Structure 1
Amino acid sequence: MQKVYKIKLGRAACAADLSDGSERGEYVCQDYILNRLGRPHRSINLMYCYYPNDKEWPARISEYYKDKKIRFQWDYPYDDYFPYLGGIGGSRDGEPFESMRDIRRHGQDVTLTLTIDPFVSDEHLAAIGEDLKSFGRLFLRINHEATGNWFEFNKRADYQQVADFYCRAVRIIKEHAPNVQTILCIGGIEEMSAEEMVKEKEFTQAVRDTDIWSVDKYMALHWGWPVDIAESGGSTHMRSSVREIYELTRRSYERFKYLNGGVSKPMVMSELNADGNVTGPYEQAEMIRLFCDMIEEENAEWLSGFCFYQFRDRGRLGLERQDPNNADVGIEQPVMQTYRELIHRERFLTSMTMGGETKLPVKLTWRSSEDAEGIAIPLHFEAPPVFCELFFEDESNLMLELNGRWFYKSPETRYVDLMPAFYGNNLHGKCELTLKLFAPPASGENDLAAEDGMFSWCYTLEKLPVIRIRTAPIEPDKDKKEGNK
């Protein structure tokens, strides 16, 4: 009989998150991303806006004014993100909720970046909280880059009003959805000579009220995209050194901590990249590698995680660039291979802790991408496999890991081919490996009627899959037998 052990999924030393879709590109489904990168992320970031009192709402503003001549990406009546279609009078049948469900059923948490009109009523904020409370641990980044001047909320309100709104939104949304963890994203320390943050006085209370501190830092950025082209001598792009961005981020964390009375909170980089429009594709990849090398070499325990912006981009900020002939096709950039290697380094991987032997049926509990109980099944290989596959008879929704490679099994799926776990990472002789199984919610949402349903999802696994391992072809090589005649 196959032995089964308990296993606990835990935090990475530094979590890896990924942004998926924005004003610069469309959402890409999680099946595709998982197969391209070989592992899930802690969280997937979605970019949406909510301006429900505007006459154009709920249209995406660039589509509403598709013939409008613009001089800057944000020259519209409100931010050109996908419209958040929940809230008062809204529906949870469309976006962002379908994407949120896709993310969670694939064993990842959601980061919802949401720009909001700072003059919406308390009732609007309460409705957002009601929308989000079935999605388990969810990171909510409200009015990010709030010390800037480009988003519409900064044009409608002064900085103190924006900061006060953040505190009001945090309070009301969390009253309705305690599962939500809020992210304050402001400029932080922006100059090496600066001692204080930009707009520090206005945002001090927000620093104290939020759950997580954050900055967006680009080592190179062409903010004039898509209106102009970055060229030498131009005024719509920038480039910094990798060391400078690292130090500005570290010093921002120290200043956050100072403003919070010396008490630490998690610190993340909610957007990190080097724009290939400025650096070209090869130096973009090298800068990302250098930054992650610094995190490892300097043991940056102050940094809880970073979010790479983004998976597929119409410009040069993506692991893929959108094919101009077909929006559904991505063209891999050199940074893809670099990023794939980086996120498989130990520092950026979730931890796994083996427990004692258990028996089926077994209850699998999913609280978040950093807190879940699953099972581990030891597998013996006499030689490198030619076939390694699973056959299921149940409707489980599972995330599976073998030999460092992750796989998704939907409730409808009956067969999973594990051979990609050995492509480029094959075994040498006899080997013992462990197959891990975890069960995130099949619908992408928790059952609020269940005990502790807002924070956890439970699934009882009744039966193991049939495991088929073969270390030789089903029929011998006739060419070798016959001497290649």
Structure 2
Amino acid sequence: MNKLNKVTLTAATCGLDLGDGSERAEYVNQDYILNTLGRPHRNIGIMYTYYPKDKEWPERISVACKDMEIHFQWDYPYDDYFPYRGGIDGDTTGQPFEQMRDIRRHGQDVALTLTIDCSLEDQYLRQIAKDLKPFGRMRLRINHECGGDWFTHNQRFSYQEVGDFFVRFAKIVKEEAPQISVVFCGSAVGDISVEDAPVQFEKEFKEAFATADIWSNDCYLALHYGWPFDVCEKGGNSYAMTPVDEFFERLRKTSKRITKVNGGICKPMVISEFNTDGDVTGPLHQGESIKRFVEKLKSENADWFDGFSMYQFRDRGRLGLEIEDPNNASVGIPQPILKDYKDILKDPFFLPGLNEAEEVTLPATLRWGSAEDAEGIAIPIKFEKTPEFCEVTFEEELNLMLELNGRWFYKAPGTKTVDMMSAFFETPIEPGAELSLKIFAPPASGENDPAQGEDWAVNYYTTITKMPELRIRYEEVQEVL
């Protein structure tokens, strides 16, 4: 326990993100998700809306218009996401900021989807960018699925106006918080049998594609899009399913076509909402097509593809790793797909790099840049065999993410001891195995600190001065009699 090595956290070959809360479910705290899945994600996606000039604002629209007769999820005056409570005369102590802090202190980056009134003046947009600046290298997805006709931005504004607004907002974000990546979720190619087919509204969206840092598409292998207003039954007309090969080919050709439209410059492509709807396949078969898609990604060496976001952790329908208990919204019911997804999380193709380098001494400064760029310390440990007890205790009140034997743990500033035995529950070790306890330090408040220097918006620094204490025991205290 006297030796320390520097360890760097780097990007996976393909990123894994996770949706957490939307019109279909409430937000689930990151402690629960981490303990359930065993490792953090690159980005956690949350979904908000901002229509501050509407008379119903800032109520959530389904609450403000609870007596309104609707026949489709997006029939309300504005989108039924959680209201973004920042902005001009706003309050950053509430939501989505508390959720963003929760996400970042657990070693993940924020992916904020924001549907927003395209008529807002620049000062509204500039204040939002200022609100978001302390949250590091987050992603901001502005007015997603903008090639459709269901969201309020497409019902109030033309496709050209939606594209122009994205460009205007993105440029303001880059002026105020250049470390934020802006995501454009436009449209895809239609007929994939036609070589070099155009994407829908590519003329209207050309400048948006050029301005964005990341291109996105929301697409599902199967989706019951009539939810929750009908029951999905065989022969119905409110669901769709796409074969895996066709699904992949549309993504590939969409990236290729947008790259051509963008003067040959290819930007990372993500799927910001992805799943197979258990309403269509049934929960027992939900994960099958997702696993085939993963194998397709790996075999095709799709270097243009940056990652996908599982939509979502918990859902009131069957688009979640858990279903929300109808009797208690705070309780999740795990679905069979949860096991399939945990297998994907462990696949080396989706694992971030953890690379040990030169030896270091205490005190040591740990740098947190993002879920794909951080520097920590690693403590080599030789285990006689799989332990019966494995705990680590810290004297200092630090905010830490710990990794051991492929399992990640969170230590809040007020927590002294972390029980790490779950690192061995599913993955026992061979006698004499040498492992490293890896330690990283995301910001304890969830926000970067302007007092830390010129690079404060992109990096956060923590100094650790004392070695933690390990309690490793290879026998039970008392045998079962």
TM range (shorter): over 0.9
SS at match of 1:449: helix
Provide the residue aligned with 1:273 in structure 2.
Answer: 275
TM-score (norm 1): 0.97
Cα deviation 1:138-175 (Å, max 9, x = unaligned): 10000000010000010110000000000001011221
Where does structure 1 lack aligned partners over 5 or more consecutive residues? 480-485
Asked if 1:463 corresponds to 2:466, the answer is yes
Q: Which residue in 2 is equivalent to 1:239? A: 241
Q: Secondary structure in 1 aligned to 2:135?
A: coil
Structure 1 position 233, deviation (Å):
2.4
* Match of residue 60 from structure 1: 60
* Divergent runs of 4+, >6 A: none
Ranges in structure 2 where 5+ consecutive residues have no aligned partner: none
Shift of 1:192: 1.9
Q: Which letter does structure 1 place at the counterpart of 2:318?
A: R
AA aligned to 1:461 is I
Is 2:112 the partner of 1:109? Answer: no
Aligned AA for 2:206? T
Rounded to whole Å, the distance in 2 between the matches of 1:421 and 1:178 is 38
> In the alignment, what sits opposite 1:346?
348
- Say if 1:113 and 1:144, in contact at 8 Å, map to a contact too: yes
- Matching residue of 2:388: 386
Task: Give TM-score scaled by structure 2 length.
Answer: 0.98
The letter of the residue matching 1:47 is: M
Quick one: which amino acid aligns to residue 371 of structure 2? S
Which amino acid letter does the alignment assign opposite residue 457 of structure 2?
Answer: M
**SS at structure 1 position matched to 2:161:** helix
For residues 76-124 of structure 1, what are the alpha-carbon distances to aligned partners after superposition, in whole Å with 9 as ceiling and x for unaligned?
0000000000001110010000000000000000000000011011010
Deviation (angstroms), 1:284: 1.5
- 1:241-272 superposed Cα distances (whole Å, 9 cap, x missing partner): 11111111111111121111111211111111
**Partner residue, 1:300:** 302
CA distance in structure 2 between the partners assigned to 1:357 and 1:173 by the alignment: 40
In the alignment, which of 425, 434, 437 is matched to residue 435 of structure 1?
A: 437
2:358 match: 356
Partner Cα distance (2:269, 2:300) in 1: 16
Q: Residue 478 of structure 1: CA displacement?
A: 6.8
Q: Spell out the pairing of 1:201-220 with structure 2 (5 A cutoff).
A: 201-220=203-222
In structure 2, what is the equivalent of residue 472 of structure 1? 475
Distance 2:46 2:469 in 1: 37
* Corresponding residue number in structure 2 for 1:24: 24
Q: Secondary structure at the match of 1:274?
A: coil
Question: What is the alpha-carbon distance in structure 1 between the residues aligned to residue 324 and residue 269 of structure 2?
Answer: 31
Query: Which stretch shifts more, 174-183 or 9-18?
Result: 174-183
Hey, what does 2:178 align to over in structure 1?
A: 178
1:188-231 Cα distance to aligned partner (Å, 9 max, x none): 12332350101111001110011011111111111111111112
Instruction: Name the amino acid aligned to 1:54.
Output: D
Q: CA deviation at 1:370?
A: 0.3
Q: Which residue of 1 aligns with 2:41?
A: 41
Alignment correspondent of 1:400:
402
Q: How does 1:408-423 map to 2 (within 5 A)?
A: 408-423=410-425
Question: Structure 1 residues 174 and 478, CA, compared in 2 at 3 Å: closer, same or farther?
Answer: closer
Deviations along 1:277-323, whole A, 9 cap, x unmatched? Answer: 11111221111111111111222222111101000000000000000
Structural mapping, 1:361-372, within 5 Å: 361-372=363-374
Aligned residue for 2:329, secondary structure, equals strand
Worse-superposed segment, 25-34 or 220-229: 220-229
Q: CA deviation at 1:431?
A: 1.0
The answer for the alignment partner of 1:99 in structure 2 is: 99
Cα distance in 1 for residues equivalent to 2:85 and 2:328: 26
**Distance of 1:105 and 1:478 partners within structure 2:** 40
| DSSP-derived class of the 2:49 partner | strand
Q: SS of the residue aligned with 1:365?
A: strand
- Inter-CA distance 190–217: structure 2 relative to 1 (3 Å threshold): farther
Structure-2 residue corresponding to 1:426 = 428
Question: Displacement of 1:394 after TM fit?
Answer: 0.8
Q: Distance in 2 between matches of 1:354 and 1:478?
A: 40
The 10-residue stretch of structure 1 (49-58 or 226-235) with the greater mean CA deviation from structure 2:
226-235
Once residues 361 and 171 of structure 1 are traced to their aligned partners in structure 2, the CA distance between those partners, rounded to angstroms, is 41
Look up the SS of the partner of 1:134 in the other structure: helix
1:478–1:12 Cα change, 3 Å: closer
Paired residue for 1:144?
144
- Asked if the contact 1:59–1:83 (Cα under 8 Å) also holds between the matched residues in 2, the reply is yes
Q: Distance in 2 between matches of 1:264 and 1:5?
A: 37
Judge conservation of contact 1:384–1:430 (CA < 8 Å) in 2: no
Is the CA contact 1:15–1:348 (under 8 Å) kept in the aligned structure 2?
yes
Structure 1 window deviating more from structure 2 (188-197 vs 68-77): it is 188-197
Distance 2:134 2:190 in 1: 37
Q: Does the residue aligned with 2:305 lie in a helix, a strand or coil?
A: coil
1:333 aligns to what? 335
State the aligned residue count: 478
- 1:468 Cα shift? 0.9
Contact 1:42 1:108 (C-alpha < 8 Å) held by counterparts: yes
Cα distance in 1 for partners of 2:304, 2:274 equals: 16
In 1: Cα distance, 2:163 partner to 2:474 partner: 62
Asked whether the 8 Å contact 1:4–1:359 carries over to 2, the reply is yes
Match of 1:312 in 2: 314
Match of 2:293 among 281, 291, 299: 291
* C-alpha distance in structure 2 between counterparts of 1:232 and 1:474, whole Å: 57
Quote the residue 1:158 is aligned against.
Answer: 158
3-state SS in 2 of match to 1:327: coil
Q: Percent identity?
A: 54
Deviations 1:356-392 (A, max 9, x none): 0000000000011100000000001111100110111
Report if aligned partners of 2:452, 2:461 keep a CA contact under 8 Å in 1: no
1:428 CA drift (Å): 2.6
Q: What CA distance in whole angstroms lies between the structure 1 residues aligned with 2:273 and 2:191?
A: 18
User: What is the CA–CA distance in structure 2 between the aligned matches of 1:252 and 1:436, rounded to whole Å?
Assistant: 39
Q: Report the residue type matching 1:364 in the other structure.
A: L
Tell me, yes or no, if the aligned pair for 2:267 and 2:304 is still in contact at 8 Å: no
